[in-house]
Amino acid sequence: MEIYVLVKQVPDPEAMIKVKSDTELEIENKYFTSYFDEVAIEAGLKLKEKFGGKVTVLTVDNRRVDALRRGISMGADEALQITDPALEGSDPFAIARTLSAYLKEKSFDLILAGRQAMDDDAGIVGLAVAECLGIPHIHSIIGLEVDDQKKEAKVVREVENGRENLTCPLPALFTCQKGLNTPRIPLVMNVMKAMKAQIKKVDLATLGLKPADVGSQAAQIKVQRYLPPPKRPPVKIIKEDFPDNVKALVKLLREEAKVI
């Protein structure tokens, strides 16, 4: 099977992030591979182990390629960075067009991505790529079985009140949710190897895109202003002894917060 996995390096949940100005953030230099993308890489590797073929990890990023190196250290065969100064300020739709411009020239059975990246939690790029390529997608999968002969997948997807079972012809794009698998921890030796691995770079011109197709001038959505989170009033610790503290809490919830 030919499998492509879309990955992104994002600020670690522990990283300090502050509003620097209306349109600028200060982000502590602590990054990791978005967890759901690791789940996607693992899903791709499992299929490769079963059916043979190739797993390629793919990112659009001008600065960070650690998610690609993570992919290689886990076992991906190839890594590709799409990078171009004109990509600065691109919105998720432009990123999707860029990825699609590359992928539409390739033959593939499956594209995998995380259900959303753990920075903006938007969950747009994967599904928008499926639309650009005109292939079916299934979002937030927690189960995957592929019939390579029939070029068909059986998929389980999580929805609010239960689990949906679906069948889907390949090629398709699936976004992966926690629970689909447990991403492998790469061996130290493979991590070392990945540090030195060749990462192929592609720019916009190679993809047949013009700078005006991407970047902030092509953006459909734009941040007008960053805001710090609303401040919560300091916690009211209820100091009465048990069981008066429980009675006091219920009173506060009913009379002050008015939520029960």
Partner 1 sequence: MIISNDIWVLAEHQDGKIKKIVFELLSAAIDFSKKTGQEVAALLLGSGLEEAVKSLTPFADKIYLMEDPVFIPYTSDTYLTGIAPLIKEHQPSILLGGATSTGKDLFPRLAMHLQTGYVPDCTGLSIGENGKLVAKRPLFGGKVFAEIVFSEARPQMATVRNNTFLVNDKPDRSAKVISVSAQIAPSIIKKKVTGFEKAAGAKLDITEADIVVAAGRGIKAPENFKIIEDLAETIHASVGTTRATVDEGWRDLKDQIGKSGKNISAKLYMAFGISGAIHHVLGISTCKTVVAVDTDPNALIFNYADYGIVGDLFQIVPALTEELKRVLASE
Packing angle of the helix pair 35-51, 66-74 (nearest 10 deg): 30
According to CB under 8 A, which one of 85, 179, 200, 208 is a site residue for partner 1? 179
CB 194 within 8 Å of CB 73: yes
CB of 112 to partner 1, least distance (A): 16
According to CB under 8 A, which one of 159, 188, 189, 212 is a site residue for partner 1? 159
Number of residues that bind partner 1 (CB under 8 A): 83
Is residue 210 a contact point for partner 1 (CB under 8 A)? Answer: no
CB 138 within 8 Å of CB 174: yes
Is residue 188 a contact point for partner 1 (CB under 8 A)? Answer: no
**10 Cβ contact partners less than 8 Å away, ≥ 6 residues apart:** 31, 32, 33, 34, 117, 118, 119
Question: What 3-state DSSP class applies to 137?
Answer: strand
Binding piece for partner 1, criterion CB under 8 A, among 50-58, 70-78, 159-167, 186-194: 159-167
According to CB under 8 A, which one of 29, 149, 160, 188 is a site residue for partner 1? 160
Question: What 3-state DSSP class applies to 62?
Answer: coil
Binding piece for partner 1, criterion CB under 8 A, among 48-56, 72-80, 165-173, 193-201: 165-173
Is residue 192 a contact point for partner 1 (CB under 8 A)? Answer: no
Q: Which of residues 85-114 bind partner 1 (CB under 8 A)?
A: 91-93, 96
Is residue 185 a contact point for partner 1 (CB under 8 A)? Answer: no
Q: Which two tokens stand for residue 204?
A: 């916009």
**130 Cβ contact partners less than 8 Å away, ≥ 6 residues apart:** 111, 136, 137, 172, 173
Selection from 186, 190, 188, 181 nearest residue 36 by Cα? 181
Is residue 63 a contact point for partner 1 (CB under 8 A)? Answer: no
According to CB under 8 A, which one of 65, 80, 128, 207 is a site residue for partner 1? 128
